[in-house]
Chain A
Amino acid sequence: MSMTHPFDVDTTYELLDDGNVRVSCGGKSGIFTGEGIHVSGDIRQADPQVCNWVNNVPNPDTQKSVSRIAGRDDAGAKLASHLS
């Protein structure tokens, strides 16, 4: 899971295998918890809610129910090919 911050498009948030989030910008980086707490690295501040978002990827195998907000369900990509 990775994304750039909408208010700071040069900054990338990327989920690491250990569940922490790497924040990178201009050749520097920092590691943060899913709550936005700094763990290591040169970048020492991050948006906690984006860390929260990037870190919080549910396991589809353990989902208790499926959810859909218009257009955002996992079926989206498959359906896109159907429409194009």
Chain B
Amino acid sequence: MAEMFKDLDPDTMPRSPGLTYQDLLDQDTHEVPDVLRLQSPKDVGLNEFAKERYTSRDYHEKEVKNLWMKVWQFAAREEEIPEVGDHIRYDIAGTSFLIVRQENGELKAYPNACLHRGRMLKEFDGHASEIRCAFHGFAWTLDGCLKDVPARWDFPQIKDEEFSLPEIPIATWAGFIFINPDQDCEPFEPFIKDLADQFERWDLGALYVQAHVARIMPCNWKIAQEAFCEAYHVNGTHPQIMRSLGDVNSQVDVWDNCSRVITPGGTPSPLLDYELSDEDMLRAMMDIPLEAEVPTIPEGMNARGFLAAMSREGLRADAGDKVDEYCDAEIVDSIDYTQFPNFHPWGAFNKIVYRFRPNGDDHRTSIMECYQLMPFQGERPPAAPIFWLGNDEKWSSALGFLGRVFDQDVFNMPKVQMGLESTYKPGVTLSGYQESKVRWLHQKLTEWVGE
């Protein structure tokens, strides 16, 4: 990391006028955890990145070979395959893998291919007592040992001990299953360490999958992902929330394998050049129409504190009294992490986990997914199954208010793809600080994939 980016001094670096994120934390009604006091701004350069990263087949093929077939990547939630024999299919860039819950509760991952003629072993998620191919009936035990070869006499060349399903590396963190297609990959622990350290306070493993929604997006996976990696786009894409969101006051932090953007809520955008009342902020934050009344903020409380107090009460039934341990910032702000290359868990009770990946081997479409993770009391509720939106279906039909915000981002995506296909300009221009999470992604891509 030290070789890649230089540290910036948070006290002297160029930044937006108005309150800093750390200034806002000083006003919190609760004790602020150390993880929010961390600051890691980096000088990520001002260079442009070639448009071919989004449009070129060659670049996509290099990504498949040097990134997707080499990197640790989020494949599934553990709770999606809780019982022995449960299995889930994970596809990436035209390749399929099978993750299977073992007799001893552990997990194994295999290339999703029969060792006989290569048919996919499982095309659906489900449950099985053995892994039997639907083509000619070759079968393996759950732990990948050869179990049955119909008409075995006709395969004298097969030795059982040499015909086990090949395993690929698998690991778990906070209820998430990661796999790596590269059998000689680096260990998982150093890869996840920065993120794991910062999420020590926010145990995502203790949450359950309340919703899992996916859609094919008409753009390269990075166009979709980058729409969610900075708050600078709020003024153009989500102007309705500017009265209650400190968009350009966001704090951006960059580490080696992870980065984050924290965007404060309940505070107005510095891009608005007029005074806003707490009522204005509340109306915007809660999306209250002009003709409807805004709730009265109790004396001595500002909009940010009020929103936090309301949200705490809203969460109490599911999260219990743990909500009282969380500061206003943890309740109200958007704490958006990215673990390279495409895993986006949000901190505290933000609920959101995004994943973006190529749609099969097509570099001009992608898969966007949103998991919603929720706290619960008592027995763990079953994980919600994946719900695929149709190509013209709105995210709001599945995810309500949050989906309305996504729909504004989605509105841009095919236009960005078409614009990059059309432009005579060789590269994309990114800001130095606010878009440094996007820069970080591209610097990492340069490291893994090349220019």
Instruction: Report A's interface with B, CB cutoff 8 A.
Output: 1-7, 9, 12, 35, 47-50, 52-53, 56-58, 60, 62-73, 75-77, 79-84
Contacts and interface: CB of A to CB of B under 8 A. Distances in A.
Interface string B328-364: 0001111000000000000001110000000000000
B398 A49 contact: no
A71 B266 contact: yes
A52 B398 contact: no
Interface string B392-424: 001011111111110110010000000000000
Nearest to B309: A83
A12 B291 CA distance: 12
A2 B313 contact: no
Given A49-B408, A58-B397, A84-B296, A76 B310 contact: yes
A76 B303 CA distance: 13
Given A6-B242, A49-B237, A80-B295, A56 B407 contact: yes
A32 to B, nearest CB: 14
Given A53-B238, A66-B400, A76-B295, 13 more contacts: A6-B239, A49-B237, A58-B394, A62-B397, A64-B399, A65-B213, A65-B398, A70-B333, A72-B401, A76-B310, A79-B314, A80-B296, A81-B295
B257 interface: no
A48 B433 CA distance: 27
Interface residues of B, number: 60
Interface string B287-316: 111110001111000000011111101100
Contacts of A3: 240, 289-290
A65 B296 contact: no
A52 B411 contact: yes
Interface string B60-91: 00000000000000000000000000000000
Nearest to B237: A49
Contacts of A77: 286, 288, 295
Contacts of A62: 397
A58 B236 CA distance: 22
B319 to A, nearest CB: 12
A52 B387 CA distance: 23
A5 to B, nearest CB: 7
Nearest to B268: A6
B384 interface: yes
B20 interface: no
B2 interface: no
Contacts of B298: 83-84
B113 interface: no
A17 B334 CA distance: 33
B411 A68 contact: no
Contact of B238 (A49, A57, A70): A49
Nearest to A12: B290
Contacts of B430: none
Interface in B97-146: none
A56 B404 contact: yes
Q: Which of A1, A75, A76 has the largest count of B CB atoms less than 10 A from its CB? A: A76
Given A5-B239, A67-B399, A83 B313 contact: yes
B246 interface: no
A57 B290 CA distance: 15
Contacts of A80: 295-296, 306, 310
A71 B400 contact: no
B151 interface: no
Contacts of B309: 83
